[in-house]
Structure 1
Amino acid sequence: MSRVEALLFDLGGVVFEFNFELAIQHWAPFSELPLRELRERFGNDEPYRQFERGEITPAAYFESLRRNLKLTASDAQIAEGWNGIFGAEISETLDAVAGAREHFPCYAFSNTNVEHQRAWNAAYPRIAATFDRVFLSSEIGMRKPEAAAFAHIADAIGVAPSNILFFDDLVENVVGAVAAGLQAVQVRSPADVREALARLNL
């Protein structure tokens, strides 16, 4: 590794578990489509990306889901599935971040939306206490793996991209971070975080 001055962590898949299959299962009774087609239709489409950039409201995004998935559900019923995806806190990783924070500033960067942010903020109170600052795509108007998003965070924390070590579970975000000049680690389990921190003598 080159010199590291700050650590930057993804949230979902790194410090807490989530599974969109839970949302699809919740919505299935409200749709005429079979589960297989619901799974095929749901995904990272343009309304999803707009919602994560804060460009559209929850109601507008839920309406796009209603059309795409042929849902008869109300906004409240869609929101119940949308916010029901969260699983266990990955406390081993949060513990490692807390320890690393004694030596480096630690930040988080999540592709998220206002609905999910409210849900995971309530479900995982340690997040706010563990990180120096949490950057949200819906607040900064940019998403991973966009180079501009990483540049924005580097500027905000006052650390050169090359001196930031980034952790994310998705390979496309790791590749995007490296292309933006950061050092990066793909996280498949807490062991990947531990091993990277050990290389920093933490």
Structure 2
Amino acid sequence: MIKNIIFDFGDVFINLDKGIIFREMEKFGGSIDLTPEMIALNGIYEVGGISSEEFIAQLQSQYPKASAIEIENIWNSMLLDFPEERLEFIENLAKEGEYRLFLLSNTNDLHITHVAQKMGSDRYERFQKPFEKFYLSHEINLRKPNAEIYQFVLDENGLKAEETFFIDDTKENTDAAEKLGITCWNIQVGKEDIVQLKSKL
């Protein structure tokens, strides 16, 4: 019996355009593909291993034609809209009180700051309120799909894996959670929506 639900954030609640960064950086001599250096740098930044200033400075060394503000704007441009029906869905789910709700997101300081500004303080607080805990990778120094991050959430909240349901748009992340005994929904972006959750439980 499912008692706990853990939600991803990007492409589950907020829509993303993950490819826009590479399309835009190409204008400054960047690659349209995800380079090993970019993967490594993003991984370090997502667990709070470097500051936003250091992150931008390292990107500037790769794309010297771009200014710091241009890089920041491009980096944040992948964050699109947050449909109201999804916000109302999570609020209503919390009001029903049937499940313990948690957010678990691989994100970084620049992105979450931008999201909060874009949503406005009232709407962002509305989003945070339904969740018992709001776990962001750069704050807890752990990231998906490493098993440690799922175990951390389970242990800190006294959750049993077999009573826990996890939703994420990245198959690598749901595969890792399933190995711990967590039931998962690898949501198909553009084909499925989080508002359909109850049909998956």
TM-score by length of 2: 0.84
Farther-moved stretch of structure 1 (11-20 vs 42-51): 42-51
Q: CA deviation at 1:147?
A: 0.6
Structure 1 portions without partners, runs of 5+: none
Deviations 1:116-162 (A, max 9, x none): 11011223324223323210000111101111000111122221122
Farther-moved stretch of structure 1 (160-169 vs 180-189): 180-189
The one-letter amino acid of 2:25's match is W
- 1:41-190 to structure 2, matched below 5 A, reads 41=35, 45-68=39-62, 70-101=63-94, 102=96, 103-124=98-119, 125=124, 126-189=126-189
Q: CA deviation at 1:90?
A: 3.5
Q: CA deviation at 1:66?
A: 2.6
Classify the secondary structure of the residue corresponding to 1:45.
helix
Classify the secondary structure of the residue corresponding to 1:87.
coil
Deviations 1:72-102 (A, max 9, x none): 2222221111112211113333333222222
The one-letter amino acid of 1:116's match is H
Structure 2 portions without partners, runs of 5+: none
Equivalent pair of 1:167/1:185 in contact (CA under 8 Å): yes
The one-letter amino acid of 1:80's match is N
Rounded to whole Å, the distance in 2 between the matches of 1:129 and 1:26 is 35
Q: What's 1:27 paired with?
A: 25
Which of these residues, 13, 16, 25, is aligned with residue 14 of structure 2? 16
Q: What's 1:4 paired with?
A: 2
Instruction: Count how many residue pairs are aligned between Structure 1 and Structure 2.
Output: 193
Q: CA deviation at 1:44?
A: 5.7
The one-letter amino acid of 2:87's match is L
Task: Describe the shift of the 1:155–1:187 C-alpha distance in structure 2 as closer, same or farther (beyond 3 A).
Answer: same
Equivalent pair of 1:53/1:137 in contact (CA under 8 Å): yes
Identity of aligned residues (%): 22
Q: Give me the CA root mean square deviation.
A: 2.3
Farther-moved stretch of structure 1 (85-94 vs 169-178): 85-94
TM-score by length of 1: 0.84
Q: CA deviation at 1:191?
A: 4.2
Classify the secondary structure of the residue corresponding to 2:91.
helix
